[in-house]
Structure formats: structure tokens, C-alpha cells
Amino acid sequence: MKSRFAALLLLACLFAAAARADDDAPGPAVARGYLKLGFDKLAAFKFVAPTYDPVADPRAAPPTGDDQIPAEVKAWNGKKAVITGFMLPTALKDGKATEFLIMANQMACCFGTVPNMNEWVIVKMPAGVAVTQDVPISFYGVLKVGALYDNGYMTGIYEMDAEGLGD
């Protein structure tokens, strides 16, 4: 009986220590005043786009899915960040990308698999930037975290107003 109690006590202590270690996990690094956010952090949680059909009930408020986004991730909203990933242009002007996705990898879309919604960032850069594909690229700017909609449909949970291209 005593050995069973001791084993349970030891197990409880190990779980408590592991929980404290997770709580003490370092946040993202900061470089020149910008959070360094990789997809290891941006996509570190499961996010499933909530079911919503704006045609079925046009007056219904669209769901946000906010309950699925961890508090630490929500805290990045409005912060300066640098994000590195693969560019997928979605709008061009004079041969430059003015809107594009930065994605965790370039394989998903090319082979018919839709990436998870937290595996891309919608980037807006009105001045435009040369299209760079097939190599990782970094962008600096202000990150927005939360449900994004276009024509009533959720298009993402991350958006960046890009200030510049990283080095």
C-alpha cells in the first residue's frame, strides 16, 4: 500500500514538473524589435474553420473560431513580427506581388492538399515586391491574429501589413 501511494505521489510530482516546464517555455525570440514567428509557433495548435454558410443565413454573425486560438497566439495581435515561409502570390500589380500568402511549406497546395488555416499568413504589401517562389523568404510587419473573411467566407486567421522584406 505504501509503495503504491509513493508511486502515485511520484507520478503526480512528475506531471506537475512537466506542466511547470511547459508554462516556462520561452516565447518567440525578438530581433530588432520584431517577434520572430516561425510556423513552428504559428501552426503549433489545431485550428478547424468553423462551419458557416453566409448564403443559408445572411444575417447570422460568422463564427470566429477564437476559442481555438491559444492566449499566447492572440497576444501577438498588433505586434511587430518577422515571418519566414514560402510565397504564393494572390495579387499582382506591375509585375510585383501586392498580396500573397506566406506558407509553412510549398508542398501542400501544389499536390491538392489544403493546408491548415494556421499554416499561412495573408500578407499585404501595397508597394509590391518581386515574386520569389521555391525558396523561404522573410517579411517584417504588423501581425493581425483573428478570423479574416472575404465575401462571407473565412480565409485565414493571420494577416500581416508588411513593412519590408527580410534579409
Q: What is the CATH number of domain 28-165?
A: 2.40.50.870
Write down the domain spans for the chain.
28-165
pLDDT of residue 7 exceeding 70? no
User: What pLDDT, on a 0 to 100 scale, did the predictor assign at position 134?
Assistant: 87
At residue 95, the pLDDT reads 93
Nearest Cα residue to 148 out of 117, 110, 116: 117
What pLDDT score does 61 carry?
Answer: 84
pLDDT band at 4 (very low <50, low <70, confident <90, very high): very low
- Report d(CA 6, CA 4) in Å as an integer: 5
List, in order, residues 6 or more apart from 57 with CB less than 8 Å away: none
- Confidence band for 109, pLDDT divided at 50, 70 and 90: low
All residues at 6 or more sequence positions from 140 whose CB lies less than 8 Å from its CB, including other chains: 34, 80, 81, 82, 162, 163, 164, 165, 166
| Torsion angle in degrees (nearest 10) through CA of 48, 35, 19, 118 | 10
Least confident of 13-22, 133-142, 147-156, 157-166: 13-22
Tell me which residue has cell 520584431: 34
Q: How far is CA 167 from the centre of its chain?
A: 21
| pLDDT score, position 23 | 45
Q: Are 161 and 142 in contact (CB under 8 A)?
A: yes
Count of residues for the chain? Answer: 167
Q: Are 65 and 47 in contact (CB under 8 A)?
A: yes
| Pairwise pLDDT comparison (13 vs 30), residue with the higher score | 30
Cα dihedral 69, 71, 72, 78, rounded to 10, equals: 80
Q: What are the pLDDT digits (tens) for 50-93?
A: 888 878 888 888 888 999 999 999 999 999 999 999 999 999 99
- What values do phi and psi take at 71, rounded to 5? -55, -40
pLDDT of residue 79: 97
Q: How much is the pLDDT for 167?
A: 65
Question: Partners of 142 in the beta sheet?
Answer: 80, 161
From residue 25, give the alpha-carbon distance in Å to each of 19, 20, 82, 133. 10, 9, 20, 33
- Residue 12: is its pLDDT beyond 80? no
